[in-house]
Amino acid sequence: MIKRVLIWTSAGAFCAMFAVSTVANAAPINPTYTKDVLPILQQNCQVCHRENGANLGGMVAPMAFNSYENTRPWAKSMAKHVSAKTMPPWHAAPDHHGVFKNERTLAAEDIETIVKWANAGAPRGNPADAPPEKTWNTDGGWTIGEPDLVIDMGEQYFVDDDVQDIYVDFRTTITKDMLPEDRIIKAVEFRPGSKVVHHIIALPLGGIAPGNEATVYPDDIGRRISPGTNITWQMHYHKEPGPGTGMMDRSQAAIKFYPKGTEVKYELQGEPLGRFDFRIPANEANYSIKQEFTFNADSQIVSLMPHMHLRGKSALYEAYYPDGSHEVLLDVPRYDFNWQTAYQFEEFKQVPKGTKVVLTTAWDNSADNQFNPDPTETVGWGHPTTDEMSFGFMSFINESNESRSMFGGGGRRGNRGGGKGFDLAGMIKQFDANGDGLLQKEESPERMSRFFGMIDTNGDDAITIEEAKAAAERLGQRRQQRQGQQSSD
Ligand code: HEC
């Protein structure tokens, strides 16, 4: 039996912009700032474009649209961006209108209003027409409201001048002083401590990448946390290297709990739909791969989040139902690395047991991709943004309530990430057919080939003992984290 859970409680300020008028009003003939434009900005833009606006994993709007003086100089640029639908930032295909809770789109007449206003020289209008100033339901800038607990990395870290990409791990503990007893997490919000933070993975809390919003679990869904839980912070810093670019960082996470004594029905589960074994040819403008996952119980999909790097072009999730029918769950035709949105279903997607979800990710490794760091390079899986990734994170719930970590699988369903039972260094010896001490791709057994690119960190198509050991260690760390997580669940 599937229980329906429909309510996704509001993430503070974000709810303001979800509501998009569906009344087909015509745009006013002579729009003014006070009467026509300001209401649109309040509803759709100010959540980011204001003093202390939303910080979505480091994406902070560089200007506030809260007064005529601040807004006017941007009128032309606003008209350009709203017509091109690059603002507000939202990358799902228009067919999904109304499907996702966190949709950020403007109604056609609102676009027209802004364009007409800009073309007419951006007139102010009568101050008496202006709606009251919009106030934001935040506390110290947290969109989840006043947190119950704020934790950080535990120390200041200096990202040196010459750094472009660096991964640094920190470990902190949620002590009994911070958390006297078990509680169930309702919401988590990360705040990067500097603008050079590219992403944060803080297990078991979750993580954030550019463009992510806070995680607010729907009612009935949560995650238990106990005093003594260790938090491992994996920080990725990314910037242009150079003198004077160094910066201090001490990133934070804010947590809100359900009221004491609340029991939740579901533990959120995760499937990464990840692949590690791809090589994207140099100068290839449209290279795609697929990955699939089949549900082994009647489930409800809560959210989808495609993840690639700078060469990412598009992502498509399709469902193949046991009755033979087919449906596009999410189409992101113009993937943008800077906006890694978790698309949250307004009404959870019901998928019967046996439903197969197929993810197709595509890259543009040509010179036409303005973000491409080097079209002459063949690229495979790797952590740096100049390498690539292919994930289609999917969170869901079902009666089994297995708590599976998104990263590296795990939980009772067995280890999909290939950790347990893999003696990687031993496998090199066993399968090294030509005896050169390396494991070439042709030599690797099938169960390993999916992870080849992840283990082969220097991308030379051969795995050394060192690469295998490093990979085994990475998997081991994840397993420990998972165990820590399970024992604290
Ligand atoms: C979710 C947050 C968010 C929302 C909502 C949002 N913006 Fe932005 N906006 C940004 C960020 C971050 C930038 C700077 C980075 C970028 O350009 O992508 C930006 C940049 C801009 C720019 C400048 C682009 C340039 O050329 O430098 C304009 C103009 C703009 N936004 C207009 C709007 C308008 C108009 C709306 C509402 C209809 C809106 N934005 C809604 C986050 C947001």
Integer angstrom CA distances of residue 452 from 224, 261, 371, 457, 473: 35, 46, 26, 9, 15
Supply the residue whose CA is at minimum distance from atom 7 of ligand 1.
88
pLDDT digits (tens, 9 = 90+) for 303-345: 999 999 999 999 999 999 999 999 999 999 999 988 888 899 9
Supply the residue whose CA is at minimum distance from atom 15 of ligand 1.
61
Q: Does one domain contain both 399 and 447? A: no
Q: How far is the CA of 209 from the centre of ligand 1 (A)?
A: 18
DSSP secondary structure string for all residues of 447-485: HHHTTHHHH-TT-SSEE-HHHHHHHHHHHHHHHHHHHHH
Atom of ligand 1 nearest to the CA of 88: 41
Q: Does one domain contain both 391 and 282? A: yes
Integer angstrom CA distances of residue 310 from 155, 198, 212, 361: 30, 13, 16, 13
CA–CA distance, 294 with 53 (Å, rounded to integer): 40
Asked if residue 137 belongs to a domain, the reply is no
Q: Does one domain contain both 340 and 450? A: no
CA-based nearest residue to 233, from 264, 197, 195 = 197
Q: Domain with 438 in it: what CATH number?
A: 1.10.238
CA-based nearest residue to 382, from 201, 163, 158, 167 = 167
Atom of ligand 1 nearest to the CA of 44: 37
Atom of ligand 1 nearest to the CA of 338: 18
Phi, psi of 148 (to 5 degrees): -85, -25
Q: How many CA atoms lie within 13 A of 219 on its CB side?
A: 10
Supply the residue whose CA is at minimum distance from atom 42 of ligand 1.
61
Supply the pLDDT for residue 426: 67
Tell me the mean pLDDT in the region 28-51. Answer: 93
* Ligand 1 contact via 118 beta carbon (within 6 Å): no
Asked if residue 458 belongs to a domain, the reply is yes
pLDDT digits (tens, 9 = 90+) for 296-311: 999 999 999 999 999 9
* Ligand 1 contact via 81 beta carbon (within 6 Å): yes
Query: Which of 165-179, 208-222, 344-358 has the highest mean predicted lDDT (pLDDT)?
Result: 344-358
Q: Does one domain contain both 78 and 37? A: yes
Supply the pLDDT for residue 461: 80
Query: Which of 21-35, 232-246, 259-273, 469-483 has the highest mean predicted lDDT (pLDDT)?
Result: 232-246
Supply the residue whose CA is at minimum distance from atom 16 of ligand 1.
61
Supply the residue whose CA is at minimum distance from atom 29 of ligand 1.
78
Q: Does one domain contain both 318 and 225? A: no
Q: Does one domain contain both 261 and 335? A: no
Q: How many CB atoms lie within 10 A of CB 74?
A: 16
Q: Does one domain contain both 418 and 347? A: no
Q: Does one domain contain both 272 and 359? A: yes
* Ligand 1 contact via 37 beta carbon (within 6 Å): no
Q: Which of 372, 387, 407 is the last residue of a domain?
A: 407
pLDDT digits (tens, 9 = 90+) for 173-217: 999 999 999 898 999 999 889 888 888 888 778 777 777 778 888
| Top mutation candidate among 87, 104, 116 for ligand 1, by most atoms within 8 Å of CB | 87
Tell me the mean pLDDT in the region 243-255. Answer: 94
Q: Domain with 157 in it: what CATH number?
A: 2.60.120.230
Supply the pLDDT for residue 238: 87
Asked if residue 254 belongs to a domain, the reply is yes
Please determine, for residue 396, whether its predicted confidence score (pLDDT) is greater than 50.
yes
Supply the pLDDT for residue 384: 77
Q: Does one domain contain both 283 and 356? A: yes
Supply the pLDDT for residue 450: 65
Integer angstrom CA distances of residue 347 from 132, 218, 316, 436: 33, 11, 19, 55
Query: Which of 12-16, 126-130, 261-265, 397-401 has the highest mean predicted lDDT (pLDDT)?
Result: 126-130
Q: Which of 266, 294, 329 is the last residue of a domain?
A: 266
Q: How far is the CA of 306 from the centre of ligand 1 (A)?
A: 21
CA–CA distance, 348 with 218 (Å, rounded to integer): 10
Beta carbons within 8 Å of 258's beta carbon, 6+ residues apart: 183, 184, 185, 186, 222, 264
Please determine, for residue 366, whether its predicted confidence score (pLDDT) is greater than 70.
yes
CA–CA distance, 255 with 190 (Å, rounded to integer): 9
pTM: 0.74
* Ligand 1 contact via 11 beta carbon (within 6 Å): no
Supply the pLDDT for residue 201: 80
Supply the pLDDT for residue 90: 95
Between residues 253 and 13, the one the model is more confident about: 253
Asked if residue 218 belongs to a domain, the reply is yes
Tell me the mean pLDDT in the region 368-389. Answer: 91
Domain containing residue 433: 412-489
Q: How far is the CA of 412 from the centre of ligand 1 (A)?
A: 43
| Percent of the chain predicted with pLDDT > 70 | 83
CA–CA distance, 212 with 27 (Å, rounded to integer): 32
Q: Does one domain contain both 225 and 354? A: no
Residues across the chain: 489
Asked if residue 183 belongs to a domain, the reply is yes
Between residues 35 and 140, the one the model is more confident about: 35
Average pLDDT, whole number, for the chain?
83
Supply the pLDDT for residue 425: 66
Tell me the mean pLDDT in the region 218-238. Answer: 87
Q: How far is the CA of 87 from the centre of ligand 1 (A)?
A: 5
Asked if residue 314 belongs to a domain, the reply is yes
Q: Does one domain contain both 351 and 371? A: yes
CA–CA distance, 5 with 81 (Å, rounded to integer): 36
Q: How many folded domains does the chain comprise?
A: 4
Q: Does one domain contain both 259 and 283? A: no
Q: Which of 407, 429, 456 is the last residue of a domain?
A: 407
Q: Using pLDDT thresholds of 50, 70 and 90, give the confidence band for residue 476.
A: low
